[in-house]
Amino acid sequence: MKTLTTLLLFSLSSLLYSQAIPTEIKKTVGFIYAKDNFGKVKPQGTGFFVSVSDSINGQLKSSLYFVTAKHVIKRDTIFRDTILVRLNLKDSLSEYGMIKLHSKGANKNIFTHKDKTVDIAVIPIAPDPAKFDYLSLPHTFLTNRENFNDLNIREGTDVFFTGMFTPFIGDKRIYPIVRFGRVALITEEKIPWDNEMTNLYLMETSSYGGNSGSPVFFYLGADRGNGSIIVGNPELKLAGIMKGYFGEKSPIKIIETQRIPVSDRNLGIAAVVPSYFLEEILLGTELKKQRGF
């Protein structure tokens, strides 16, 4: 894990200085699948790897986590008992790994926020870095509550995310798509979603089912200073986790089975769960106790 974390820190920091968008960021992503009621494996969404590291008595310790949206690993309101995570191998192929899920008990491996409206799930897994072609984001890439204002993040800030594109997932390998947009709304008030009020960012971009759970990034330019211009290269920070898009219901056509006039359109507005909730899970008491630091 020490070698993997060191490689990641060098790789991502170097990329920020060499190109507009670090394409290697796609290596942090894996695709999530699950079996339907007929036993057929179906794509569910996206997840990504985050590492937590600390120096204990002069020794670097690290733990690796796979992060996604809670609803991606649920069937209705209940967590699934098994998911498949698909990652690229070091060669030209990809492979599925089966993960048994436990939301409680001695084998618990699903960790969530104490606020039940926060749509984030954290799963401790560490695929073999010698076999799989993936990277993880250091937890220092997360925007937390303290540095949010310092970075001058506001409406109009550039964002992008990478995740599953269901029309083309890839046959031999996975191919995460990268989509771009801007922050559309930041508010101190909670936003309604599925009859619940929750904390979200809104961003101007299209999002579809397979994008749920994708990492969303702020791409901060020269205006990221609070009231000043910063000379130098852009800064990349994790904005949060893709929750989904806002659909609009309007009376356009009749659904014959229900005789209800309805239309579901993507408004071009996506909802993102802020990354500071992820930080609170990763650095919370429960996971600290499990990893031992």
Residue whose pair of structure tokens reads 């057929």 in the numeric block: 40
Q: Average pLDDT over the chain, rounded to whole?
A: 85
Provide the token pair at 18: 């060499």
Question: How high is the pLDDT of residue 19?
Answer: 45
**Position 253 pLDDT exceeds 60:** no
Which residue's structure tokens are 């690993």? Answer: 73
CB atoms inside a 10 Å sphere around CB 245: 20
- The string of pLDDT tens digits covering residues 95-125 is 999 999 999 999 999 999 999 999 999 999 9
Helix %, strand %, coil % of the chain (to 5): 20, 40, 40
Phi and psi angles of residue 135, each rounded to the nearest 5 degrees, phi first:
-130, 165
Query: Rounded to two decimals, what is the model's pTM?
Result: 0.86
Residue pointed to by tokens 């985050």? 50
Cα 281 from Cα 284, distance rounded (Å): 5
Using 50, 70 and 90 to split pLDDT, how confident is the model at 146?
A: confident
Lowest mean pLDDT among 162-171, 203-212, 245-254: 245-254
Structural fold of domain 2-291: Thrombin, subunit H (2.40.10)
Which tens digits make up the pLDDT trace of 57-83?
A: 888 899 999 999 999 999 989 999 999
CB 33 within 8 A of CB 73: no
Determine contact, residues 47/66, Cβ cutoff 8 Å: yes
pLDDT higher than threshold 60 for residue 84: yes
What does the pLDDT read at residue 266? Answer: 54
Q: How far apart are CA 134 and CA 142, in angstroms?
A: 19
What 3 state SS string does 174-190 have?
CCCEEEEEEEEECCCCC
- What confidence tens digit (pLDDT) does each residue in 5-33 have? 444 444 444 444 444 567 889 999 999 99
